[in-house]
Structures are given as structure tokens and as C-alpha cells.
């Protein structure tokens, strides 16, 4: 075994220990070897021929660096080699990358590193560009790159003893090549040099091409930032790398030059501003302005939309989104408007799809809480165990997955309105908790002992008969009374026939706007069928029907064949209801009078719709009147 220890600071420290020096020398070297040279999962020294010594604190003494050249049986290290510093060419990714066999932590040049899919990085870039604009995305990515480069230079400075600062600097592009960001063209020089650096296969240019196609300017913002950060740290002055050729804009390779601000001069001053922190703020201000403009435009569009709907519905006194031509609906809207002004809890009943949420919305919009939030939660759609946390919030650690404190909907709806939809589906246990919240006007987050005051209006809705549920014992009576301080019932569509056609027209106009189609209205036969049908699915069914019709309609008008089968086949009432055959004359009379009634007594219009001559209609009506007179 031969160990040569010359002029090495650590070695000198060891030899200075006197008699047992040889033994200690051996154990020192063994410890160096065992601590640093045997990669996880491998054993023995033989596998590590040529491996690099990593910086190692030994008795607080200096660090040692260098290759092991040879050993047999024991350890044999040429410590002259240990003395020599690191050169950029010596960097090897097998030495820089440490993989933990159990996963979880990867280290690159001693720093924790992440393996990120290039496409994921590309998607982040796409997201930034699309949402904040090119300038803001460029500022973020340039500065992200700069920080990455700067940190990498620091890590490389601490990790290795470099032959010269020049080696430390030149290691930059090599490291980034090893990281997989690009490939340095063989023989390519330092970006600081006159000739600059040529990069092949830049991942960034590749991702830009993938998501955006050819650019008209260089696109490797992160890589320019990265190179600038690395060189600035190693050169001890601010240096900015910019591309003059880029794969992303159709050049064969990317080409970088790194210069100080003065060296760049004014020519590319605008691009250098992407390295300034204030640039990002400016860009974001611009995007914010753009967002505000878009919002304003959306608002104008909505207003135009509203005006269209008002025109279609023929009248502006109804609240937005509600049609109330029929007496029962008019009554409901009247009542809701009056109730809105007081802060009482309201229970809204009505069949599924009848529009309970719109009434709840009206209660909110016309209340003193209109400027606060309106939040609707479907209690029937949330599992019982989650509902409590959803409504009342939870403390950190209250259950698996509760990683932080979270307020619930009762708190989120503060100063506004909370709609508890499908309240009839709530479990008995949850009913008790709801009752307490309503009575005390305070809630307790799951996993917390402290009560919190809440200030909100509760509106509940259900399609179940809660009174009956109370009788059956499935719904608490005290909660029922607490909820129905005021009770509103939304009539089913079949009980508000006068609303069917105006509502159908509004829903048709809405669907046409959504689908960007021009629709003028309903064919007369279509209107008839809509009126004949019973609408078990209520407004929601009518809405779906209109949407389907817009999708199917060949022309600008909804024809009968654009309606779903069940609506198309509904026969006129006289036969459908009784189910037995009646004299034709009787049915005809009833039908003609009903049609006349529907048209407000307008005979010309009625004759047109019945597709009979007006003289025929006149004659028939006259007979009916004679009949009526004689039967008196
Ligand atoms: Zn490029």
C-alpha cells in the first residue's frame, strides 16, 4: 500500500498527529473513500476508479478535491492530484448527479434538483403567454432563468475548487448542457468571447415551436436569463446574454452573446429591461388594464344581451331571468320582492327544475345584502361527512387531508346570502348542526372549539314536501319551522301556461346567442306543441328543449321536427285527456274556441293558424253563438 502525502493541508494535519500517523492516515483516507466514493447501491472501491473526491469537511479543516488514480487492496491516492483544482472539461454528469435509490431526493452538483418534463415547462410558458401576454411571460422567464443561473454558479463555486475563475465560468454552459437544457455545439466558445456560443437543440426553442410555431424574434428567454445569471455571479459583474439567432425563429441553432450593459449599448436596451424587476410590474399593469378592458367589453355585451332578452320577452318590469306573465308567477315575484327587503330565512318549495335558484337569486339581488356574495350549495350532492366541513369550514389537521385552516360557506357568504339547495336531503345529524347555526347565528369549524359569529341570510330550497317529511320523522320539526319563516312556492310550468311561450322565446334567444346562431322564433305549430305538453321537467326541460332546437334547426325558425319526440307527439287535449273518442264537431268547436281565446279574439289570426278561410271561421263561430243562444 502506498500513500503519498505531500503538501496537502488535510494530510499535513493528519501527519502532524505523531506516532500513530500512518494508521490515522489510512483511516482518514478510508473515511474519505467510504463516505464519498461508494455510490449508493454499490460496494467496494474498485468500481470507483477515476471518481472524483467531493468537498469534505474533515475536522473542520480544508476541503479536498481531485481524482483517485489507482488503488489496490488498500488505498492509494496520488495526493498531488488532490492538490490540482477542477477544470471545466473534467465535469461529468455521473459525478454531478446523485440519485437516491429510494427516490424522493435527487441532487445535482450538491443541490436538490427536480426532473421536470420539458413539455410541462412548455405548458407553463404557454400559460404565462396566454394569460399575461408575451412581455410579462418574457420578464418572468428571464428572471427565473437568471436566478437559476446565479444559484447554480454559487453551488458550483462551493462544490469544487476550480483551477481558475475562468474554469468556473466556462463550467456554466457545460453544466446546463448536462442538465439537458441545450447542447453546446462542439468547439463553441464562451458567450463572453467575441464569437459567442452556439447552442443546439434548445429545449426552450423546441417548446416554443411546439406551442406557438415559428416566432419572429429569438425566444430562449429562460436560457438567456440562466446564462446571464451564471456569468454575472462568476464574473463578479452584471453581464447580460442575448440571442441574435434562435431555433425558435427558424435559424439552424441558437446563438448567444454575453456583454455588460455598456457593451450592449442602446441598441438592445429594450431587451435588457426584461432583466429588471420593475419590468414585470409594468407588464402586469398592462395585462391588468387589458383585463379591465375585457371586463368592460363583457359588461357591455351582457347589457346588450339583456336588452335583447327584454325585447324578446316584451316588457321590462320583470326581474332579470324571470318570466312572470301568468298570475301565479306574478304573485310569486311580488311576494319575493317584498320578502327580499327583510332579512328573514326563506324556504323555497317547488318541483325539480322549476327555477327555485332564480327566485333565491332575486331575494338576494333585491335585498340590502345585494352587494355581498350569493353562494348556492347543493346539500344533496355532497357526502354527509364532507358537508359539515364544506358548510362550517375546518381547522388544520381536523381530518386526513386537512392541511390548513379553511373557512366554510357560512363564512364565505358573510354579509351576503347562502342558498342551501336540496335541504330536504340533509341527514338527521347535520340537521341538528344546521339548526344550531341558524339559532345561534354562529358556527364552529370542524376540529375547532371556538365559535365564530356569522352574518348572512339563509335561503333554503327543496323539491320535497318537508311538512310530510316532518310527519314521517325524517326531517326535524324545529329546523323546518326555523327555515320556513317565510315560505315561497315556485309553481310548476304546467300551472303557468301563459309563461311557456315567452319563456321559450327568451330561452331560445339565450341558446342562440350561446351557440352563435341567428334564430327568429318559433313556428306556429311548434308553439302549439309547446303549449300542449305538460313539462314534467319544468323550466329546465324547456331550456334543454330550446337548446336542442337551436342545435338541430335547419332554418331560422324552430319547427315541430326540431322538438324532442315526447313533445312532438302530444295530441290536442280533447282526445288525450278523456282517452275516448268524442264527436268531431264537439272537438272542433272546443278547439276553435280555445284557439280564438289564445289569440285574444283575433279571428283573422286564428283562421290563419287553423289554416281555414276567415269566412269559414266566421260561419262556424256564428253557429256556435246560435247554439249558445238556443240552449239558454
Ligand atoms: Zn433560441
Q: Are residues 192 and 225 in the same domain?
A: yes
Q: How far is the CA of 90 from the centre of ligand 1 (A)?
A: 27
Q: How far is the CA of 220 from the centre of ligand 1 (A)?
A: 4
pLDDT of residue 285 exceeding 60: yes
Q: Nearest 10 degrees: CA dihedral of 284, 285, 290, 292?
A: 120
Q: Are residues 38 and 56 in the same domain?
A: yes
pLDDT of residue 22 exceeding 50: no
Q: Are residues 363 and 438 in the same domain?
A: yes
Q: How far is the CA of 247 from the centre of ligand 1 (A)?
A: 5
Mean pLDDT of 137-150: 93
Residues 130, 136: contact at Cβ < 8 Å?
no
pLDDT of residue 61 exceeding 60: no
30 lies in some domain: yes
Q: Shortest CA distance to 229 belongs to which of 173, 158, 150?
A: 150
Mean pLDDT of 128-151: 90
The chain-wide mean pLDDT, for the chain, equals 80
Phi, psi (5° rounding) for residue 27?
-70, -30
Three-class DSSP category at 196: coil
Mean pLDDT of 525-549: 93
C-alpha–C-alpha distance, residues 364 and 358, integer Å: 10
Q: How far is the CA of 151 from the centre of ligand 1 (A)?
A: 22
256 lies in some domain: yes
Q: Are residues 347 and 442 in the same domain?
A: yes
411 lies in some domain: yes
Report CA 489 to chain centroid distance, whole Å: 36
Mean pLDDT of 75-88: 52
Domain-ending residue, one of 520, 544, 570: 570
Query: How do strand 442-444 and strand 557-558 relate by DSSP bridges?
Result: unpaired
Q: How far is the CA of 246 from the centre of ligand 1 (A)?
A: 4
Phi, psi (5° rounding) for residue 518?
-95, 115
Q: Around Cβ 22, how many Cβ atoms within 10 Å?
A: 12
Q: How far is the CA of 95 from the centre of ligand 1 (A)?
A: 28
pLDDT of residue 37 exceeding 80: no
Q: How far is the CA of 97 from the centre of ligand 1 (A)?
A: 26
Highest mean pLDDT among 51-60, 63-72, 141-150: 141-150
CATH number at 449 reads 3.40.50.300
**Total number of domains constituting the chain:** 5
Q: How far is the CA of 216 from the centre of ligand 1 (A)?
A: 11
For residue 79, what pLDDT band results from cuts at 50, 70 and 90? very low
Local structure of residue 406 (DSSP, 8 states): E
Sequence-ordered list of residues with C-beta below 8 angstroms from that of 540, at least 6 positions apart, any chain? 352, 353, 355
Q: Are residues 384 and 485 in the same domain?
A: yes
Q: Are residues 344 and 385 in the same domain?
A: yes
pLDDT of residue 619 exceeding 60: yes
Q: How far is the CA of 254 from the centre of ligand 1 (A)?
A: 4
- pLDDT tens-digit series, residues 545-598: 999 999 999 999 999 899 998 898 776 655 445 456 777 887 888 788 878 877
- State residue 117's pLDDT score: 86
- pLDDT tens-digit series, residues 461-520: 999 999 999 999 999 999 999 999 999 999 999 999 999 999 999 899 989 988 989 999
Q: How far is the CA of 504 from the centre of ligand 1 (A)?
A: 57
Mean pLDDT of 289-308: 73
Q: Are residues 379 and 336 in the same domain?
A: yes
Query: How do strand 183-184 and strand 197-200 relate by DSSP bridges?
Result: antiparallel
Mean pLDDT of 131-157: 90
- pLDDT tens-digit series, residues 454-469: 999 999 999 999 999 9
C-alpha–C-alpha distance, residues 611 and 525, integer Å: 11
CA dist 340 → 293, 317, 459 (Å): 33, 17, 11
Q: How far is the CA of 196 from the centre of ligand 1 (A)?
A: 13
- State residue 6's pLDDT score: 27
Mean pLDDT of 526-534: 91
Q: How far is the CA of 255 from the centre of ligand 1 (A)?
A: 7
- State residue 571's pLDDT score: 65
C-alpha–C-alpha distance, residues 383 and 380, integer Å: 8
C-alpha–C-alpha distance, residues 348 and 217, integer Å: 60
- State residue 124's pLDDT score: 92
CATH number at 584 reads 1.10.10.60
Domain-ending residue, one of 275, 307, 339: 275
Q: How far is the CA of 87 from the centre of ligand 1 (A)?
A: 27
For residue 309, what pLDDT band results from cuts at 50, 70 and 90? low
Q: How far is the CA of 225 from the centre of ligand 1 (A)?
A: 12
Domain that holds residue 507: 494-570
Q: Are residues 165 and 190 in the same domain?
A: yes
Domain-ending residue, one of 570, 600, 620: 570
Q: Are residues 542 and 443 in the same domain?
A: no
Residues 400, 445: contact at Cβ < 8 Å?
no
C-alpha–C-alpha distance, residues 370 and 539, integer Å: 25
pLDDT of residue 230 exceeding 80: yes
- State residue 384's pLDDT score: 82
- State residue 632's pLDDT score: 44
Q: How far is the CA of 245 from the centre of ligand 1 (A)?
A: 7
Q: How far is the CA of 237 from the centre of ligand 1 (A)?
A: 24
Mean pLDDT of 196-214: 92
- State residue 334's pLDDT score: 92
CATH number at 544 reads 1.10.8.60
312 lies in some domain: no
For residue 446, what pLDDT band results from cuts at 50, 70 and 90? very high
291 lies in some domain: no
Residue predicted with more confidence, 630 or 457:
457
Q: Are residues 501 and 396 in the same domain?
A: no
C-alpha–C-alpha distance, residues 208 and 119, integer Å: 10
Q: Are residues 141 and 250 in the same domain?
A: yes
Q: How far is the CA of 203 from the centre of ligand 1 (A)?
A: 9
The verdict on pTM exceeding 0.85 is: no
Highest mean pLDDT among 32-41, 73-82, 105-114, 423-432: 423-432
Query: How do strand 451-453 and strand 521-522 relate by DSSP bridges?
Result: unpaired
461 lies in some domain: yes
Only one residue has cell 410579462, namely: 136
Q: How far is the CA of 403 from the centre of ligand 1 (A)?
A: 41
Q: How far is the CA of 455 from the centre of ligand 1 (A)?
A: 56
Phi, psi (5° rounding) for residue 563?
-90, 155
C-alpha–C-alpha distance, residues 535 and 492, integer Å: 8
Q: How far is the CA of 260 from the centre of ligand 1 (A)?
A: 20
For residue 156, what pLDDT band results from cuts at 50, 70 and 90? confident
Q: How far is the CA of 276 from the centre of ligand 1 (A)?
A: 21
Q: How far is the CA of 205 from the centre of ligand 1 (A)?
A: 5
Amino acid at each position: 500500500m502506498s500513500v503519498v502525502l505531500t503538501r496537502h493541508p488535510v494530510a499535513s494535519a493528519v501527519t502532524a498527529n505523531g506516532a500513530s500517523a500512518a494508521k490515522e492516515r489510512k483511516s482518514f483516507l478510508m473515511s474519505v473513500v467510504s463516505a464519498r466514493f461508494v455510490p449508493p447501491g454499490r460496494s467496494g472501491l474498485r468500481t470507483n476508479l477515476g471518481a472524483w473526491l467531493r468537498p469534505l469537511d474533515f475536522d473542520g479543516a480544508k476541503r479536498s478535491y481531485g481524482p483517485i488514480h489507482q488503488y489496490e487492496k488498500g488505498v492509494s491516492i496520488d495526493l498531488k492530484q488532490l492538490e490540482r483544482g477542477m477544470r471545466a472539461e473534467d465535469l461529468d454528469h455521473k459525478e454531478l448527479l446523485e440519485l437516491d435509490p429510494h427516490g424522493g431526493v435527487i441532487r445535482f452538483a450538491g443541490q436538490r434538483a427536480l426532473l421536470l418534463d420539458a413539455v410541462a415547462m412548455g405548458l407553463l410558458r404557454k400559460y404565462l403567454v396566454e394569460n399575461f401576454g408575451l412581455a410579462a411571460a418574457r420578464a418572468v422567464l428571464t428572471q427565473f432563468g437568471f436566478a437559476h443561473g446565479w444559484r447554480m454558479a454559487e453551488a458550483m463555486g462551493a462544490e469544487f475548487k476550480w483551477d481558475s475563475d475562468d474554469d468556473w465560468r466556462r463550467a456554466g454552459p457545460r453544466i446546463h448542457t448536462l442538465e439537458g437544457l441545450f447542447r453546446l455545439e462542439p468547439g463553441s466558445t464562451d458567450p463572453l468571447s467575441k464569437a459567442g456560443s452556439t447552442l443546439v437543440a434548445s429545449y426552450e426553442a423546441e417548446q416554443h415551436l411546439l406551442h406557438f410555431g415559428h416566432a419572429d424574434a429569438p425566444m430562449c428567454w429562460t436560457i438567456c436569463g440562466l446564462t446571464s445569471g451564471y456569468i454575472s455571479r462568476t464574473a463578479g459583474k452584471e453581464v447580460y446574454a442575448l440571442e441574435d439567432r434562435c431555433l425558435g425563429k427558424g435559424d439552424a441553432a441558437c446563438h448567444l452573446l454575453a456583454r455588460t450593459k455598456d457593451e450592449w449599448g442602446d441598441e438592445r436596451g429594450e431587451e435588457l429591461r426584461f432583466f429588471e424587476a420593475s419590468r414585470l410590474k409594468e407588464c402586469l399593469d398592462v395585462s391588468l388594464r387589458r383585463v379591465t378592458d375585457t371586463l368592460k367589453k363583457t359588461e357591455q355585451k351582457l347589457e346588450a344581451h339583456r336588452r335583447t332578452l327584454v325585447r324578446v320577452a316584451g316588457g321590462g318590469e320583470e326581474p332579470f331571468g324571470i318570466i312572470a306573465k301568468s298570475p301565479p308567477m306574478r304573485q310569486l315575484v311580488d311576494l319575493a320582492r317584498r320578502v327580499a327587503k327583510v332579512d328573514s330565512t326563506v324556504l323555497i318549495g317547488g318541483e325539480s327544475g322549476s327555477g327555485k335558484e332564480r327566485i333565491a337569486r332575486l331575494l338576494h339581488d333585491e335585498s340590502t345584502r345585494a352587494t355581498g356574495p350569493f353562494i348556492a350549495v347543493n346539500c344533496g350532492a355532497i357526502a354527509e361527512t364532507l358537508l359539515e366541513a364544506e358548510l362550517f369550514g375546518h381547522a388544520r389537521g381536523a381530518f386526513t387531508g386537512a392541511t390548513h385552516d379553511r373557512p366554510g360557506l357560512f363564512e364565505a357568504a358573510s354579509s351576503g346570502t347562502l342558498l342551501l339547495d336540496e335541504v330536504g336531503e340533509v341527514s338527521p345529524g347535520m340537521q341538528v348542526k344546521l339548526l344550531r347555526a341558524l339559532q345561534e347565528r354562529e358556527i364552529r369549524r370542524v376540529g375547532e372549539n371556538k365559535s365564530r359569529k356569522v352574518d348572512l341570510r339563509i335561503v333554503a330550497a327543496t323539491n320535497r314536501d318537508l311538512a310530510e317529511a316532518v310527519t314521517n320523522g325524517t326531517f326535524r320539526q324545529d329546523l323546518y319551522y326555523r327555515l320556513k319563516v317565510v315560505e315561497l312556492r315556485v309553481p310548476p310550468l304546467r300551472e303557468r301556461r301563459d309563461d311557456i311561450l315567452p319563456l321559450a322565446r327568451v330561452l331560445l334567444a339565450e341558446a342562440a346567442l350561446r351557440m352563435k346562431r341567428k334564430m327568429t322564433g318559433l313556428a306556429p305549430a311548434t308553439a302549439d306543441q309547446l303549449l300542449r305538453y305538460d313539462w314534467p321537467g319544468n323550466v329546465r326541460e324547456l331550456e334543454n328543449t330550446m337548446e336542442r332546437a337551436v342545435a338541430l334547426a335547419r332554418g331560422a325558425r324552430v319547427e315541430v321536427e326540431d322538438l324532442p319526440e315526447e313533445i312532438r307527439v302530444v295530441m290536442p287535449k280533447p282526445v288525450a285527456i278523456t282517452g275516448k273518442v268524442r264527436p268531431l264537431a264537439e272537438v272542433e268547436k272546443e278547439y276553435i274556441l280555445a284557439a280564438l281565446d289564445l289569440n285574444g279574439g283575433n279571428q283573422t289570426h286564428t283562421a290563419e293558424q287553423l289554416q281555414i278561410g276567415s269566412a269559414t271561421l266566421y260561419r262556424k263561430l256564428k253557429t256556435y253563438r246560435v247554439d249558445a243562444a238556443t240552449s239558454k
